[in-house]
């Protein structure tokens, strides 16, 4: 169990800057998810913590100790890689025993057996123990590679997109298993993913990484409801938050190409924080609203046409068109709509997030 801190980390590969001024604080026993697109620097961050890469600048602390000079072995971390990295030609049992067997820290045989059996039971791979690793399916391989991490009781678990190569059903199952495992062990987890659903469902805390910088860290709830900028707003959530250009005029949101306006409540103003003062009047803004906070109602203020309907079973995602502005709305599946049908919609004025048009930063975070 450990507390991990990264301070002002930067990493440069040749002429490519992978990370810049990265600060990260992962509390002991926390399930921290690092979320970002491919190439954002997630894997690099993980490898820096594991000691497989050296930072170009900045420091890594594990339990308050600067580990710059430590190799991967001394850091006592476990790393689960996307490509499983099982040792070929060995059985599952031999793979699980591998980290326990090196002579220097050789455990007694009974202890090794006990730990392997316990890990196998936790991951439900007991029946595979004597099988060769090349005769396993993807999901089984990934479990074995997670098993190899947990037999050791490392200080930190680092997981590099361990689920992304699996099919949807298995991914869902392992997601729950991993989360349960983390709670059982009470261990510190750093989980890297590009999948925002994984981030939302598993993380105690989520850090959104973009172009080698941490944009925002917070609980999934904070990230979802109070994104720091338009990048986070559009990256997190499926479908993403609607972002519409406009400005505030007399307490009403007037959308920029002046094709519609919506009420903007006083409640939302206080929710939006001190940044929403008189100075906001007339200033170019981006209004952010989650699709589920847009609703259809016969007496609603704005008329739109249904541009597209996606049926997701429990709900339908509508794309509405107002002039040339598109926005998404999540409606119950029983809502009966047809493409090109005129509808009226409104938003929940309390849930509107205001972003500065120029910087893209949320007004709530700006001050």
Partner 1 sequence: MVVSVLNTLDPQSRAAARGWSDLTIRNIFIIPTVLFLIVFNIFPLIYSLGYSFTDFAANRNVPWSFVGLQNYRDLLADQRIWTNFVITAKYVIVSVGGQMIIGFGIALLLNRDFPFKGVVTTLLLLPMMLSAAVVGLFWQLLYSPSWGPINYILGLRNFGLLSDADTALYAVAITDIWMWSPFVMLLSLAGLSAVPKHLYEAAAIDRASSWYTFTRITLPLVAPILMIALIFRTMEAFKTFDLAYVLSVQPTTELIAIKLYRLAFQQWDTGRSSALAYIVLIMVLAITNIYVKYLNKVKER
Q: Which residues lie near partner 1 (CB under 8 A)?
A: 50-52, 71-73, 76-79, 81, 83, 85, 87-89, 98-99, 101-105, 148, 152
Residue 5 C-beta: closest distance to partner 1, Å: 20
Toward partner 1, which CB reaches closer, 79 or 352?
79
Q: DSSP secondary-structure letter at 313?
A: S
Residue 205 C-beta: closest distance to partner 1, Å: 23
Two tokens at 314? 């429990």
Distance CA 355, CA 243 (A): 9
Residue 92 C-beta: closest distance to partner 1, Å: 15
Distance CA 82, CA 192 (A): 10
Residue 99 C-beta: closest distance to partner 1, Å: 4
- Whether the bond between 51 and the residue before it is cis, its omega within 30 degrees of 0, is no
Toward partner 1, which CB reaches closer, 160 or 293?
160
How are the residues of the chain apportioned to helix, strand and coil, as percentages rounded to the nearest 5?
30, 35, 35
Structural contact between residues 322 and 259, judged by C-beta atoms closer than 8 angstroms: yes
Toward partner 1, which CB reaches closer, 76 or 292?
76
Toward partner 1, which CB reaches closer, 150 or 208?
150
Toward partner 1, which CB reaches closer, 83 or 277?
83
- SS3 assignment for 166-186: CCHHHHHHHHHHHHHHHHHHC
Distance CA 132, CA 178 (A): 24
In 3D space, the residue among 242, 248, 250 whose CA is nearest the CA of residue 290 turns out to be 242
Residue 118 C-beta: closest distance to partner 1, Å: 18
Residue 138 C-beta: closest distance to partner 1, Å: 16
Residue 81 C-beta: closest distance to partner 1, Å: 6
Residue 141 C-beta: closest distance to partner 1, Å: 13
Show Cβ contacts of residue 321 under 8 Å, excluding neighbours closer than 6 positions.
Answer: 304, 305, 306, 307
Taking phi over 0 as left and psi of -120 to 50 as alpha, with beta for the rest, 84 belongs to left
Toward partner 1, which CB reaches closer, 95 or 319?
95
Structural contact between residues 351 and 332, judged by C-beta atoms closer than 8 angstroms: no
In 3D space, the residue among 187, 193, 188, 197 whose CA is nearest the CA of residue 207 turns out to be 193
Toward partner 1, which CB reaches closer, 79 or 223?
79
Toward partner 1, which CB reaches closer, 109 or 310?
109
């Amino acid at each position: 169990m450990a507390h991990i801190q990264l301070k002002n980390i930067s990493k440069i590969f040749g002429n490519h800057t992978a990370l810049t001024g990265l600060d990260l604080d992962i509390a002991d026993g926390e399930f921290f998810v690092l979320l970002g697109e491919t190439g954002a620097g997630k894997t690099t961050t993980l490898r820096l913590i594991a000691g497989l890469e050296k930072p170009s600048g900045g420091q890594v602390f594990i339990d308050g100790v600067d580990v710059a000079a430590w190799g991967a072995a001394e850091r006592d971390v476990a790393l689960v890689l996307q490509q499983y990295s099982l040792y070929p030609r060995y059985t599952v049992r031999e793979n699980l025993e591998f980290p326990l067997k090196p002579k220097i820290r050789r455990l007694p045989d009974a202890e090794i057996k006990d730990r392997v059996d316990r890990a196998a039971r936790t991951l439900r791979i007991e029946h595979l123990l004597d099988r060769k690793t090349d005769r396993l399916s993807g999901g089984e391989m990934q479990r074995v590679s997670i098993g190899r991490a947990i037999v050791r009781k490392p200080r930190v678990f680092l997981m590099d997109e361990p689920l992304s190569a699996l099919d949807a059903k298995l991914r869902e199952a392992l997601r729950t298993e991993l989360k349960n495992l983390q709670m059982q062990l009470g261990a510190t987890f750093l989980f890297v993913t590009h999948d925002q659903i994984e981030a939302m469902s598993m993380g105690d805390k989520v850090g959104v990484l973009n172009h080698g910088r941490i944009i925002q860290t917070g609980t999934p709830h904070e990230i979802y409801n109070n994104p720091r900028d338009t990048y986070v707003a559009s990256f997190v959530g499926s479908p993403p938050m609607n972002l519409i250009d406009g400005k505030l005029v007399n307490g009403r949101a007037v959308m920029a190409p002046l094709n519609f306006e919506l009420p903007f409540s006083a409640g939302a103003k206080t929710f939006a924080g001190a940044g929403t003062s008189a100075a906001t009047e007339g200033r170019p803004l981006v209004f952010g609203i989650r699709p589920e906070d847009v609703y259809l109602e016969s007496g609603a203020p704005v008329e739109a046409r249904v541009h597209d309907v996606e049926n997701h079973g429990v709900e339908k995602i509508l794309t509405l068109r107002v002039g040339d502005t598109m926005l998404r709305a999540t409606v119950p599946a029983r809502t009966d709509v047809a493409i090109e049908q005129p509808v009226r919609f409104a938003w929940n004025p309390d849930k509107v997030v205001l972003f500065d048009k120029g910087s893209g930063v949320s007004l709530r975070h700006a001050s």
